[in-house]
Amino acid sequence: MNTIKTGPQARPHKHAPKRGRAHPTQRPQAHGSKKEGTSTQTQSHDGLTFVPLGGLEEIGRNMSVFEYKNEIIIVDMGLQFPEEDTPGIDYIIPNIEGLMEKRSHIKGIIITHGHYDHIGAIPYLIDKLGANIPIYGADLSNEIIKRHQGDFPHAPQLKLVSVKNGDVVKMSEHIEVEFFEITHTIPDSLALVIKTPVGNMAYCTDLKITYDIDGVADPREIKTYTDIGSRGIHTLFLESTGADRAGQSISEELVQQNIDALIAGAKDRIIIGLFASLLTRVSDIINIAEKHGRKVFLSGFSLKTNVQIAQNLGYIKPKKGTLLSIEELHRYKDDKVLILSTGAQGEPNASLMKIVNGIHRQVTIKKGDTIIFSSSVIPGNERPIQSLKDNLTRQGAHVYQTEHLDVHSGGHGPAEDLKTVIGLVAPKFFLPIHGWYFMRAANVRLATQMGIEEKNTLLVDNGQVVHITPKGLSVAKETLPAYYIMVDGLGVGDVEEIVLRDRVALSQEGMIVVFVTLDRRTGSLIKNPDIISRGFIHLRDNKDLIEDMRTKVKKIIGHIPHVHSVESDYLKALLRDQLGSFVYNKTKRRPMILPAIIKV
């Protein structure tokens, strides 16, 4: 056991975040008994407080806050990728408005692993909270954070502190954290035991159990969770992403065997689509490629970056001459080529999509190519992935995915994995994290199956304040802001609900722009109104409707007394309302009406 002393506490920062979008999910009542164990009773509180600021009503945006007296630690600071109802948004990040007044109390930020849904918001938020707050993470996580921070030219230098399995960090006077290495899809993933005067809290997110080909769990992982349980756990905060899926994780040995068989049987090129952060799988595939005498080419900036970091730290150890630049691809025969590519989720700007669309500089699909999707389908990406597979097949490629053959084992353990963890850790209380409400509710059912009384479980949502005492958990009436903060280009938090509503309306109904030229003195029309439509109707095919709209505009203006100049804002509002009603009556559609008033 190694003990590490904490760094100096953070100083306040003058900048506060701008107001963002309200979270779309309706908050259900907290789940749990109101008599003992867990409750929704408000009470005087001098114990430990837990507040999730993200990750409990979505997949992503993970950030949790623990507070004891005037001592605060933060676990993770991730981003979330945009949704269907957030068009044009780059990322969604946690809301730290409720932390700003207490930012001087933050003693440290702990990173559980290097995936962007756990680290991606750091460049956007750290300067607001205090750039001198120490960030604790394993070596790989810290290197990815450092590289990501370098993408922001004016971002402050971070105070990164390296931790590893067995380390114990004295975060503050009353809070100590012990680190345990666990298995995910990226090396250096960590579980935490947060030791407080109230009790020891186990925080286990993004995990799976490793099984051999016969379905036997890795004894090292069993020992890890047994060791966590030996600390006497008050509350287990456990990830829920796979809680609603039956069974146990697919054996990585089986995945390797199946990928090995596909590579051995392929006569031409092999292209494997995966996540850039799936570094454990990347290492396995490189080893298999070497076995079959194939050179490995990386396509995708993030993949190249992550592999380089992993090589520098010794997590990926290819033989000399195995990993080659994609620019050298033309020098090798197809049966000696294996390409690792990002874009297995159908992302429009990712490498695999560029390949299938014929705009990649070095790679185009050839008849006979073997395409392997070694990744799970993120909910919401089904349609672009289906389109991607369809286009690959049309071009003569042979496509393989987990539905056909076990070529991927996810990083989020299903029900039996989670039950194993719950049984070994044996907490008194249980609070599921990381996932949609139905996933977390499924996790509660798993906990009760493992002997935890339902009254000792608690379901909460982002922003709800949980009071933790030696006797149990309770939900306070007060909440912290947890609505979405949007990142759109260089803007952070400046895209609000009304902007998103406009974008959704434009995408669904289109728009009509009406140009009206008026006499400055009398307010009368000088020329026929001009009408432009985008995303609503095709002008050439709807000349009668356009002419009807022009007539309606002229009538609206004609009813206004022309004794003096008309107020522009009043006329715009009039045109929006009356022309909008007219168009709806004609078409049963509601395009956005944008009047433009020109006075001459």
Sign of the torsion angle spanned by Cα atoms 545, 551, 554, 560: negative
pLDDT of residue 571: 84
Per-residue pLDDT tens for 483-516?
888 776 555 655 566 566 666 666 677 888 889 8
φ, ψ (nearest 5 deg) of residue 136: -100, 125
Please state, in angstroms and rounded to a whole number, the distance separating the CA atoms of residues 160 and 31: 37
- Rounded CA-CA distance 65/481 in Å is 13
Residue 258 CB contacts under 8 Å (≥ 6 apart), including other chains = 405, 406, 407
Position 45, amino acid: H
Confidence (pLDDT) at 589: 82
pLDDT value of residue 182: 97
- The DSSP line for 182-208 is E-SSSSSEEEEEEEETTEEEEEE-S--
In whole angstroms, give the CA distance from residue 218 to residue 243.
20
pLDDT of residue 471: 93
Cα dihedral sign, 179-128-121-303: negative
Chain-centroid distance of CA 88 in Å reads 16
Q: How high is the pLDDT of residue 504?
A: 64
Average pLDDT across the chain, whole number: 86
| Residue 380, pLDDT score | 64
Q: Which of 202, 181, 188, 352 is nearest to 274 (CA)?
A: 352
Give per-residue pLDDT as tens, 301-333.
999 999 999 999 999 999 999 999 999 999 999
* pLDDT on residue 542: 83
Name all domains of the chain by residue range, CATH numbers in brackets. Answer: 31-247+410-487 (3.60.15.10), 252-400 (3.40.50.10710), 497-599 (3.10.20.580)
Give backbone dihedrals phi and psi of 207, rounded to 5 degrees, phi first.
-145, 165
Global pTM value: 0.79
- Residue pair 218/248 in contact by the 8 Å Cβ criterion: no
Question: What's the rounded Cα separation, in Å, for the pair 410 and 403?
Answer: 13
What's the Cα-to-Cα distance from 192 to each of 247, 272, 446, 447, 464, rounded to whole Å? 25, 34, 21, 19, 22
Cα(537)–Cα(516) distance, rounded to whole angstroms? Answer: 20
* Dihedral sign computed on CA atoms, order 206, 210, 215, 218: negative
Encoded amino acid at 294, one letter: R
Token pair of 48, please? 């430990």
Q: Token match 């100590």: residue?
A: 176
Q: pLDDT value at position 10?
A: 36
Question: What is the bridge-based pairing of β-strands 48-54 and 464-469?
Answer: antiparallel
SS3 421: helix
Bridge partner list, 320: none
**Residue among 155, 388, 371, 337 at smallest CA distance from 259:** 371
Q: Cβ-count burial of 381 within 10 angstroms (0-12 exposed, 13-18 middle, 19+ buried)?
A: middle
Task: Pull the structure tokens for residue 97.
Answer: 């408005």
pLDDT truncated to tens, each residue of the chain (600 aa)?
A: 555 544 433 333 333 333 334 444 344 445 554 444 665 443 445 789 999 999 998 888 999 999 999 999 999 999 987 666 655 667 888 999 999 999 999 999 999 999 999 999 999 999 999 999 999 999 999 999 999 998 888 888 999 999 999 999 999 999 999 999 999 989 999 999 999 999 999 999 999 999 999 999 999 999 999 999 999 999 999 999 999 999 999 998 898 898 999 999 899 999 999 988 889 899 999 999 999 999 999 999 999 999 999 999 999 999 999 999 999 999 999 999 999 999 888 887 889 989 998 889 999 999 999 999 988 777 667 788 888 989 999 999 999 887 667 777 888 999 999 999 999 999 999 999 999 999 999 999 999 999 999 999 999 999 999 999 999 999 999 999 888 887 765 556 555 665 666 666 666 778 888 898 887 777 778 888 888 888 787 777 788 888 888 888 888 888 777 656 677 888 888 888 888 898 888 888 888 888 888 887
Q: Write down the pLDDT at residue 11.
A: 34
Token pair listed for 477: 């009436």
Count of beta carbons in the 10 Å neighbourhood of residue 181: 16
